[in-house]
A and B are shown apart, each in its own frame.
Chain A
């Protein structure tokens, strides 16, 4: 035999020898791994335990590092980046206080199933457990709010651990993953090899929904008299909006989206009844309460959606599509469960639907829609248009008009968040960025930074309140450093409005600690950071001011709207009530 194999063998061997010679430090392995993973940007803040990593970052230019002003903001920025792109967000913080500051952002991402990989520095392995300077048990502290976490004790495991971290964060039901890297691991040397593919015997997310269950679900959907589609953030995470939209239009059924699911089906489409839940529309909640077949897709029957579970959808047979088996029948008993990736299941459902001879019952649909239109005619989101005070709802309506519905909108937590969800009509997914599960005040501004980094040419607005904005206000400095032209819409009612609303309704108007005193002059504050500040006090100035602000394409504009202090969010389902027990205006 001619020795052609030996020839190749020689080259293989030479190749191996060559990679063997290249030993990198852990810090360099960290950088190379992220580059190999296709990461372009890390949000972070330096400190002692991560100095070797920062030194490695300094000596390269493939990976950008964004310096925030507080580690919480690093996690929210990475989170906003992830939510608006579908790609993982990456964070780098130091040990001890760096890690603990990041926890709020990690928990925020966890509750909304957002893929983040958070690298925390750790004291050298020899000191772990000694109460060393800036030591905390980061793996222990974050365990209940991560999808998984790792402590890397050997530099030889670093690359593969990073690969696993991204794999776990991004597949199945996504979520944050923490990788804790002791300082000596960052300085030790090892060969570098970043695995392209990875498999873990203990982690095998489902890749297909059960075909028989899918057929059963479609059959049930087609026999429905009063159907209702209820869809959540899972549709957006699975990038399945187009399939959802196609299927919903094909069926002609009403659809409602959760707070996390807004934009998965166009808000301006007639079939969309708007958001459901505690501050959802009358038509969406009544539709839920009265439906006979509930088609839940990528939604998790959260208590803010269901209200009292004993009164939830009393007449419905429930279909539930979700990637996470533990979500199924957790809060509400499901009749037809389908565990699988939402995009794949919807594709399969569409196929079955198109092949099916059965069609939706036209007469029943007519009657059902007639009923729904009656509910819709209640016009539950109406508010006073003749007020001398700026109504927050009005600002949001104008924001929608001025940005032509095309902005990315982040929000903080409170009344302004609910009004933004109600009044800004999202026709596309990944545009509405808010902390739904954890409800983290302080999320809006840093999240908007992450969105703007991901979409430098797009319009990014942050809808906030004077309470929330002060929780991460320091990030105005980051925005200045990186020239992020965000538009901040501060709905300043002088109150922790959502708290005040609950105190008005449920605590006889005893407004304990919900009044915001000693507010800064937001205009001067913005200016002191080098931004543009505006204060708007009259309804007639709202639209012109918005127009002016959004014309300033390269400046951050902080718009302080002094709004009606007494406005409340309606409709409202009080905690413990059923979906048909809404407080209307």
Chain B
């Protein structure tokens, strides 16, 4: 099953490579990985998406917890949560296709953030599934470039990952 794991780590050089190294050394897969500092400069927050059986996910969280720089982590799937990913997508938009692309962007609540005579660049935010759907809706040959931020997530309600 797909899991989103959020990790609070000491904001030290090399922290990211410890996590990436753990995944490659133990043969776990990473679908996406995002990192940035938090409001507390000494901490960075990492969100990673991985897949595995319950046993594998259990090992992954245990091994992550074993990393000395990991302060705390949370498997988002242990409770209700919100997940978001952002995508910037540049598509060919000339002639009759131009209107169609704009209409699609509206349906997906995307925002056109850059325009040229022949292209639109659209920002879309949502679950990974929604972004997949948007990419799927556009004619493949019209896609010039896709950039995705990787998934981030946060628990709903009182549940939170903080110190």
Contact = CB atoms under 8 A, between A and B. Distances in A.
Interface of A: 139-140, 143-144, 147-148, 151, 168, 200-203, 324-326, 329-330
A147 B68 contact: yes
Interface in B34-66: 55, 58-59, 62-63, 65-66
A111 B59 CA distance: 18
Nearest to B15: A202
A310 B66 CA distance: 27
A143 B68 contact: no
Contacts of B55: 329
Interface string B60-77: 001101101111000000
A202 B71 contact: yes
B58 A329 contact: yes
A203 to B, nearest CB: 5
Interface stretch (B6-14, B81-89, B92-100, B129-137): B6-14
A329 B18 CA distance: 23
Contact of B21 (A144, A168, A330): A144
B1 interface: no
A237 to B, nearest CB: 16
Contacts of A203: 68
Contacts of B107: none
- 6 cross-chain pairs, A with B, having the tightest CB-CB distances, nearest first: A326-B62, A148-B68, A202-B71, A203-B68, A144-B25, A325-B62
A173 B9 CA distance: 20
A326 B68 contact: no
A326 B22 CA distance: 13
Contacts of B163: 201
Interface string B118-129: 000000000000
Given A201-B71, A202-B69, A326 B63 contact: yes
Contact of B59 (A151, A201, A330): A330
B68 A325 contact: no
B4 to A, nearest CB: 21
B10 A139 contact: no
Nearest to A204: B71
B18 A168 contact: no
Interface residues of B, number: 20
Nearest to B66: A326
Given A202-B9, A202-B10, A324 B59 contact: no
A200 B68 contact: yes
Contact of B17 (A140, A200, A202): A140
A148 B18 CA distance: 9
Contacts, number: 36
A233 to B, nearest CB: 18
Contacts of A326: 59, 62-63, 65-66
A501 to B, nearest CB: 30
Decide if the interface of chain B is mainly helix, strand, loop or mixed: helix
Nearest to A139: B14
B31 to A, nearest CB: 22
Given A201-B71, A202-B10, 12 more contacts: A140-B17, A143-B17, A143-B18, A147-B68, A202-B9, A202-B68, A325-B62, A325-B66, A326-B63, A326-B65, A329-B55, A330-B59
A28 to B, nearest CB: 26
Q: Which of A140, A168, A200, A201 gathers most chain B CB within 10 Å?
A: A201
Contact of A143 (B9, B13, B21, B66): B21
B29 to A, nearest CB: 17
A200 B71 CA distance: 9
A200 B12 CA distance: 14
B14 A151 contact: yes
Contacts of B10: 202
A168 B65 contact: no
Contacts of B25: 144
Contacts of A148: 68-69
A314 to B, nearest CB: 19
Contacts of B14: 139, 143, 151
B14 to A, nearest CB: 6
A143 B21 CA distance: 8
Nearest to B13: A151
25 contacts: A139-B14, A143-B14, A143-B17, A143-B21, A144-B21, A144-B25, A147-B68, A148-B69, A151-B13, A151-B14, A168-B68, A200-B68, A201-B71, A202-B9, A202-B10, A202-B68, A202-B69, A202-B70, A202-B71, A325-B62, A325-B65, A326-B59, A326-B62, A329-B55, A329-B58
Nearest to B9: A202
A43 B89 CA distance: 58
Contacts of A200: 68
Nearest to B72: A202
Contacts of A143: 14, 17-18, 21
Nearest to B55: A329
A201 B40 CA distance: 14
Nearest to B71: A202
A94 B25 CA distance: 27
A140 B55 CA distance: 29
Nearest to A326: B62
A458 B65 CA distance: 41
Contacts of B21: 143-144
Contacts of A330: 59
A326 B70 CA distance: 15
Contacts of B58: 329
A401 B59 CA distance: 46
A147 B25 CA distance: 14
A140, A202, A203: most-surrounded residue (chain B CB, <10 A): A202
Contacts of B18: 143
A201 B72 CA distance: 9
B68 A324 contact: no
Interface string B135-163: 00000000000000000000000000001
